[in-house]
Amino acid sequence: MSDSSDTEKAVAAHAGSGKDDSMEKQKAMTADHFRALTRAREEGKKVVYTFVPGNLTELMHAFDVLPVYPEINALQSAMRQRSAQFIGEAERSGHSEDVCTYVKCDLGMIKNGNIGPTGEKLPPPDLLLLSYTGCFTFMKWFELLRQEYDCPVVMLHTPYQSEGRVTDNMRQYMVDQLRNEVIPAFERLTGKTYDEDRLRECLRKSARAEDDMVAVLESAKHRPSPIDAYFGGVYYIGPMFTAFRGTDAAVDYYSTLRREIDARVAQGLGPITPEGEMGPERYRLVVEGPPNWTSFREFWRMFAEEGAVVVASSYTKVGGVYDLGFRHDPEHPLETLADYCLGCYTNRSLPQRIDLLEQYMNDYSADGLLINSVKSCNSFSAGQLLILRQIEARTGLAGGFIETDLVDPRYFSAANVKNRIESYLQMIDQKRQQRRQSLGGSGGSPPPPGSTPLFSPGAEGQP
C-alpha cells in the first residue's frame, strides 16, 4: 500500500468516517504542502526545519520559506506503522532506549531515505530554526540534525515562565533575538529583506483562523459535546500548529470547520469517531499528556465504546493556549510572536498547568481528569502525579493514570490500557453514586458536580 493511501487512512482515523468538507480541505492542504517540499530544490525554495511549540510560521511565510516539522514526521511514521523500524535503526546506531522516541523515529527515518507521508523524499534543511520552548530535548535533537546535514542553526530561546507570568524583560529579550538573530538569518538564507507589512498580513490571517479554532474547541462545553477535544482535537489543530497558520488556506479551513461543528451543535450530535457517530455521552473527561500514535485508532475506540468523550486536553495547547485569549496581533508583529512563544503550554510553570487543568474541569463540566503519562516525554511527564493529586483535591473529582508512549509500539499494552480506563470510569461511577447518596437520593436532588452542561442546544439565551 502506498504512503499516500496510508496517510489518508491516518487522516480518516483522526476525523472519523465522514467526508466533511473540512477533512477534504485539510487533506488537500497537507498534500499540496508536501508536494511543494518535494519540488523545493528545482523551484529555488528554501526549506527550514523547526518545531511545533513556539514556531514562527508567519515569519517563515513572510520570507517564502517552506517549513518542515520533525515531530510531525515522527507521528506520521507511527500512524503508518513504520516508527518501530525507525526507532530500531536509531537504537542500533547507539541511541539509548530512554531517548525521546520522536527523536529516534526522526533519525531512523532520515537513515531510511527521509521519505515523507506522500511517499516522496523530503528535502534536507537549508536552515535549522531551533524554537526552544520548555523542552531541553529540542536542543539535543537539533545538535544531531546539524551533524547530519551540516547546515546553519539559529536559536530562538524562550524564557521559561518560572514565576507564572510573562514580564516585559522576557518579551524584550525575545524581540531582540528576533530582530538581531532570527530575521538576519532569514535574510541571509533567502536574499530577501524583511517585509514587516507582509508579516502583519500573515498575522491578521492567523488571528481570524484562531478565532474559529477556539470556537471549535469550546464547542465541547455543550452537552453532548459535538467533538472529541483530544482524539479529534489533534486533527483540528493540525493546520494551526504547523505549516498553515497565517495563510488563506487556514482561514478557509477553520471557517469551514466551525460551520460544520455549529451544525452538529444545533442538531444535538456528539463526536464522530473512526467507527462513525459515537453513542450516548456517559463521561466527560479532561486529558493531560500526548496521545499514543502507533495505536491511535484503537486507543480512541477504548474511550468511544464506553461513551467517554474528552472535552478538553492539554496536548491540543502545545502550539498555543489560544482559549485564554491570546491572538496574534498584527499591530505589534515581533512582540506578538514573542508572546505566542512564551505562552505555549510546555513553557508554562507547573502551577500554571494545574490552574489551567482545574479551569478546564470546571468550564467543561468534566467528570474527571485522566493523565496519559508518556514514557519518553519528560517535558509532559514531569510532575504529572502532583498534577493529578492537586486536581483531585481541588475538584473532588476522580483522577486516573495510564502509561503509553508517543511512537514506540513496545510501550503500548492494549489490554493494560483498556483495563485501566475501564477501572477509572468505574471510579467515576462510584463517586457519582456516593454523591447521590450524600444528597439523599435522586428525587429532587441537585445534579452532581461536573454533570451540568454550560450550554444546552436550544436552551433559552444559549447558542
- Reported as a single tens digit per residue, the pLDDT across 174-214 is 999 999 999 999 999 999 999 999 999 999 999 999 999 99
If you ran DSSP here, which 8-state letter would residue 231 be given?
A: T
Per-residue pLDDT tens digits for 293-307: 999 999 999 999 999
Q: What percent of the chain has pLDDT over 90?
A: 79
- The answer to whether residue 273 scores a pLDDT higher than 50 is yes
Confidence of residue 19 (pLDDT cuts 50, 70, 90): low
- Quick one: pLDDT at residue 451? 37
Residue 16 has pLDDT above 60, yes or no: no
- Which residue would you say has higher pLDDT here, 225 or 379? 225
Output the nine-digit C-alpha cell for 330. Answer: 498584527
Category of 54 on φ-ψ map: left (φ > 0), alpha (ψ -120 to 50) or beta? left
The confidence score (pLDDT) of residue 118 equals: 77
Task: Answer whether residue 5 shows pLDDT above 70.
Answer: no
Chain segment 408-455, per-residue pLDDT in tens = 999 999 999 999 999 999 999 999 998 888 887 544 333 444 333 333
Q: Which residues of 85-113 are buried (b: 16+ CB within 10 A; e: fewer)?
A: ebbebbeeeebeeebbbbbbbbbbbbeee
Cα dihedral 50→56→60→61 (10° resolution): 130
Give residue-wise pLDDT tens across range 145-174.
999 998 999 999 999 888 889 999 999 999
**How many whole angstroms separate alpha carbon 40 and alpha carbon 53?**
24
DSSP 398-414: EEEEEEE-SS-GGG--H
Contacts of 345 (CB under 8 A, 6+ apart): 53, 314, 317, 318, 321, 353, 356
State the cell numbers at 272.
464522530
Q: Is the pLDDT of residue 2 over 60?
A: no
pLDDT of residue 438: 85
Retrieve residue 312's grid coordinates.
478538553
pLDDT band at 81 (very low <50, low <70, confident <90, very high): very high
Q: Does residue 134 contact residue 160 with C-beta atoms inside 8 Å?
A: yes
Q: For 164-170, which contacts have Cβ atoms below 8 Å and span 24 or more sequence positions? A: 164/348, 164/349, 164/351, 164/352, 166/339, 166/342, 166/343, 170/338, 170/342
Q: What is the pLDDT of residue 180?
A: 98
What is the DSSP secondary-structure string of 67-114?
EE-HHHHHHHHHHTT-HHHHHHHHHHTT--TTS-HHHHHHHHHHHTT-
The model's pTM is 0.89
HSE-CB for 228 with a 13 A CA cutoff: 30
- Is the pLDDT confidence value at 330 over 90? yes
For 229-263, what is each residue's pLDDT tens digit? Answer: 999 999 999 999 999 999 999 999 999 999 999 99
181 vs 60, 127, 135, 243, 340, CA distance in Å?
A: 14, 13, 21, 22, 18
Residue 177: closest CA among 148, 154, 209 = 154
Reply yes or no on whether the pLDDT at 18 is more than 50: no
Cα–Cα–Cα angle for 9, 11, 14, nearest 5°?
A: 110
Higher pLDDT, 229 or 119: 229
